[in-house]
Structure 1
Amino acid sequence: MQSFLHLPIKNSDFGNILHITDTHLFANDNNQLLGVDSNASFLSVMDEIKSLKKQYDLIVATGDFVQDGSKEAYSLFAKQIQKLNTPCVWLAGNHDNYAYMQIIFKDYQLAENKVVLLGDNWLLILLNSQVVGQAYGYLSDLELAFLRKTLENYNDRYALVFLHHHAIESGCHWLDQHILKNSDQLKNIIQNYPKISGVGWGHIHQNQMHSWYGCKAFSTPSTCVQFKPASYEFNLSLEAPGWREIKLGKDGEIQTDVFRINSNQFQPDLSQNGY
């Protein structure tokens, strides 16, 4: 049975979620991903979030936490997230070591809750789309059955689903080779469960928003390097690191905005052709 978290909301009108993704951290500071010091860019994102002094009910972190596969990099993420004093749920990306995540995050009280009951009206479900050793994603039969069962168990609530991999083509040919390979199966569930109001992911290091069979489907920028939209081949963007804020209304409405750090000091090496 999947563990679940039941949280109250601080604002009587809406639930407020912070979505962070694709931090790509290193054990040692000053290491770079495509010319960007990803540890420093993550810390800048965290500093800016703290400076805004907003209250969140929940943090959702959707994978690719580390770039070097180290336990130390997972610890860096967990230590910083703890400073926000907000419950955090998480899932694995294609770059992640799932076993390390379970060990390290448990030490920092980042529990592995894949179901969150938020307030009286919302259900959040986190799915594991990781395929070990591959960049693309896939939802196993067990994961799809878990999604259906959870939706049935809480059919009085509006639902927001998170995974790492993009389920809709991004418009970047090179990225779309690493899409969720069985997105049609996820689509079929969305069509059959109209209370699914939204689906969110990371992976593509871009801000995108779609309308997908009656729900909002969106991607969130990375806290480090951004990928250039509408690029056939690998290409980097000069956009700053960012995060997403999601507001969940009582009637199933989702309002969401992307924010970026004010400084654009984290410029990638545009000569790079892959990673």
Structure 2
Amino acid sequence: MVVATKKILQITDTHLDEKSTTHGHNVYDKLAIVFEQTIEKKDFDLIIFSGDISDKGSLNSYEWLAKKTENYNSKIIWMAGNHDSVDNMKQVFNLSFLVDIEENKLNYQLNLSGINILCLDTNDKLLSDNQIDWLIESTDDNTIIFIHHPPITCASPFMDDNHSLANWKIIKEKLSTISNKTFRFFCGHYHQESYISYQNIHLFLTPSTMFQIDRHKPHFQIANTLSGYRIIEIFEDKSFKTYCDYIFIT
């Protein structure tokens, strides 16, 4: 049996807010149960909160999460989504592995047993030219990339038409012309699980801990209220497998 040498947990779109509920679901309780079933039962080398940690960017929501995770042994990366406040995140979280390529953006890079991990900030709903250049220059054969907004469309009409990355067409065109590189993205934002590929671009959408959006509808509709997350297992030869799990919370 081949055993993974490193494990990554991706948690996304927790949407913590002041009133502790969003769309009728107690998001704090749901996230706490996800922690009980993941971090508190399994060893993860890295945990990535890949954006929309808070629903309104409040200090209280970040402080609650920082307190909740302070005794975990895993490395943690805190990424900003469009709902987050970068200023408040800077006040609360220990932001290790930051890369200074864009003012007031939380971009990260770290090496995990030979895997080059890049994390790109899309808090302002786009990637800057500096970020795109850094992404291209930093990507090698053993790179995986985390980004809140998918950099291509995902065959999900409501999200593609209303909430896509502002400059996704430019990014798609630039990346797809670089034939000697493969770009592997792990994203959130869409509140759904999916795998999409376009030429040398491979994209894994990770479900929210809050609720999932129906990917087939042209209008907003909740598909289910399962709490989802993604696990990535990395092997000695730098290959990886990835899968999503869900928790049904009454």
Same fold (TM over 0.5): yes
1:234 to 205, 214, 220: 220
Which residue of 146, 150, 160 maps to 1:166? 150
Cα distance in 2, alignment partners of residues 139 and 50 from structure 1: 31
Moved runs in structure 1, 4+ residues, more than 4 A? Answer: none
What is the CA–CA distance in structure 1 between the aligned matches of 2:229 and 2:46, rounded to whole Å? 14
| Contact 2:17–2:55 (CA under 8 A) maintained in structure 1 | yes
Q: Which amino acid aligns with 1:56?
A: F
Equivalent residues of 1:248, 1:254 under 8 A apart: yes
Counterpart Cα distance in 2 of 1:77 and 1:190? 37
Match of 2:112 in 1: 118
Aligned to 1:20: 11
The question of whether the paired residues in 2 share the 8 Å contact of 1:46 and 1:80 is answered with: no
CA contact (8 A) 1:105 1:111 kept: no
State how far apart, in whole Å, the 2-side matches of 1:118 and 1:247 are.
Answer: 12
- CA deviation profile, 1:156-186 (whole Å, cap 9, x unmatched): x510011111223233322112112322443
Q: Who is 1:6 aligned against?
A: none
CA contact (8 A) 1:170 1:230 kept: no
- Distance in 2 between the 1:140 and 1:14 partners? 34
Q: What SS class does the counterpart of residue 258 from structure 1 fall into? A: strand
- Give the percent of matched residue pairs that are identical in Structure 1 and Structure 2: 28
Q: Who is 2:104 aligned against?
A: none
Matches of 2:208 and 2:145, distance apart in 1: 19
Give the whole-Å Cα distance in 1 for the aligned partners of 2:26 and 2:192.
Answer: 18
Instruction: State the Cα distance separating 1:250 from its structure 2 match.
Output: 4.2
For residues 43 and 129 of structure 1, the distance between their equivalents in structure 2, rounded to whole angstroms, comes to 26
Tell me, in whole angstroms, the C-alpha distance in 2 between the residues paired with 1:181 and 1:96. 17
Cα-to-partner distance string for 1:115-142 (whole Å, 9 max, x where unaligned): 01111x21010111221xxxxx211011
Gaps of 5+ in 1: 1-10, 132-136, 266-275
Cα 1:197–1:40 change in 2 (3 A) is: same
Secondary structure class of the residue paired with 1:75: helix
1:189 has 2:162 as partner: no
**SS of the residue aligned with 1:123?**
strand
How far is the alpha carbon of 1:189 from its aligned partner? 2.8
Q: 2:62: which partner in 1?
A: 74
Shift of residue 213, structure 1, vs aligned partner: 2.4
Q: Normalized against structure 2, the TM-score is what? A: 0.86
In structure 1, distance between residues paired with 2:48 and 2:158:
26
| TM-score with structure 1 setting the length | 0.78
CA distance in 2, matches of 1:238, 1:130: 26
Of stretches 234-243 and 165-174 in structure 1, the one that deviates more from structure 2 is 165-174
Q: Which runs of 5+ in 2 are unaligned?
A: 99-107
Where does residue 200 of structure 1 map in the other structure? 186
Partner of residue 126, structure 2: 138
Instruction: Give the Cα separation in 2 of the matches to 1:240 and 1:96.
Output: 22
Post-superposition CA distance 1:227-253 (Å, at most 9, x none): 112111010022410110012234443
Q: Does 1:221 find its partner at 2:215?
A: no
Secondary structure at the aligned position of 2:21 is classed as coil
- Whole-Å Cα distance in 2 between the matches of residues 256 and 233 of structure 1? 29
- Closer/same/farther in 2, CA of residues 221 and 209 from structure 1, 3 Å limit: same
SS in structure 2 of the partner of residue 168 of structure 1: coil
- Please state if 1:103 is matched with 2:91: yes
